Amino acid sequence: MTDELTDDFETIRLEEPAEHLAALVLDRPDAMNSINDRMLDELGEAVDQLEAADEIRAIMLRGAGEDAFSAGADVQSSGAMDHREGTEHSRRGQQVFGRFRETDMPVVAAIDGHCLGGGLELSMCADLRVASASSKFGLPEHDLGLLPGWGGTQRLQRLIGESAAKQVVFTAERFPAERMKEFGYLYAVYDENFDEQATEFAADIAGGPPIAQRYTKRAMREGFENIDAGLEVESQAFGHLLDTDDLAAGITAFVTDDDPDFEGQ
């Protein structure tokens, strides 16, 4: 493991399955990787570590075990909350999950099994999502008399459109992976050898041009609500990239029909 990373966690773990790639594993398989307060703390701490690790260029989110990416919030650990506590609990989850959207590194969610409630809301903050064919997706909060409170009412409709998002939220149904791919939520659905194919995909992203990827994510994030701000970031980034060694490496590889070796310089 890279020197900057530690494994001093209770509910998650960090791995390095490929060069420049960190796997952040939700590690409560006996509880279907449900998300409790401790996991929220550790997810934020892990992002801090990964951003400080020079060799890490991309993050893969996945769940431990064979049953779930995450079945959502750990309701038992939440206990009875009053209005104020519930509001702060919602804000906290929104902020922690948002760290994966805000980090400049590409984030891939590798989903195998149940991806429900808060687990689905966490995956919404990834840049790309892949899933096994047997995976099931859903936001069951309406069946409990709640609503998705960790960003689901806002982020899902921005990803798949208002109509499809309302189908997921209001029906509280379990949707198969192929249906979520039709919605545009998933990049790919793998029928077999999921771990290998998902890791290969994430490793390919990690092997991309890190400077260009950082600026691309930044420009798209800034421009999502304000296109003028996003266009300005895009222009400044384009000019900056013309001075990088990575551009020369990419052009050389294109001319010679080789794979580029991006050094992040």
Q: Cα separation of 229 and 188, whole Å?
A: 31
Confidence of residue 77 (pLDDT cuts 50, 70, 90): low
Domains of the chain with CATH codes: 12-206 (3.90.226.10), 210-256 (1.10.12)
pLDDT, average across residues 145-167: 95
Q: What SS3 class is residue 5?
A: coil
Question: Is 121 marked active-site?
Answer: yes
pLDDT of 66 strictly over 80: yes
pLDDT of 79 reads 56
88-91 contact pairs (CB < 8 A, 24+): 89/149, 90/149, 90/150
Q: Which of 16, 141, 196, 232 is an active site residue?
A: 141
What is the pLDDT of the chain when averaged over all its residues? Answer: 90
pLDDT of 264 reads 66
Task: Report whether 67 contacts 114 (CB < 8 A).
Answer: yes
pLDDT of 85 reads 85
Q: Cα separation of 188 and 201, whole Å?
A: 10
Model confidence pLDDT, tens digit, residues 17-50: 999 999 999 999 999 999 999 999 999 999 999 9
Q: Cα separation of 102 and 217, whole Å?
A: 9
Residue 117: left (phi > 0), alpha (psi -120 to 50), or beta? left
Model confidence pLDDT, tens digit, residues 173-211: 999 999 999 999 999 999 989 999 999 999 999 999 998
List the structure tokens of 19: 């060069």
User: Over pLDDT 90: what percentage of the chain?
Assistant: 69
Question: Is 141 marked active-site?
Answer: yes
Confidence of residue 3 (pLDDT cuts 50, 70, 90): low
Give 161's contacts (C-beta < 8 A, 6+ positions apart).
Answer: 183, 184
Q: Which of 4, 51, 102, 121 is an active site residue?
A: 121
Model confidence pLDDT, tens digit, residues 219-262: 888 888 777 777 777 777 777 666 787 766 766 766 776 677 67
Q: Cα separation of 29 and 155, whole Å?
A: 26
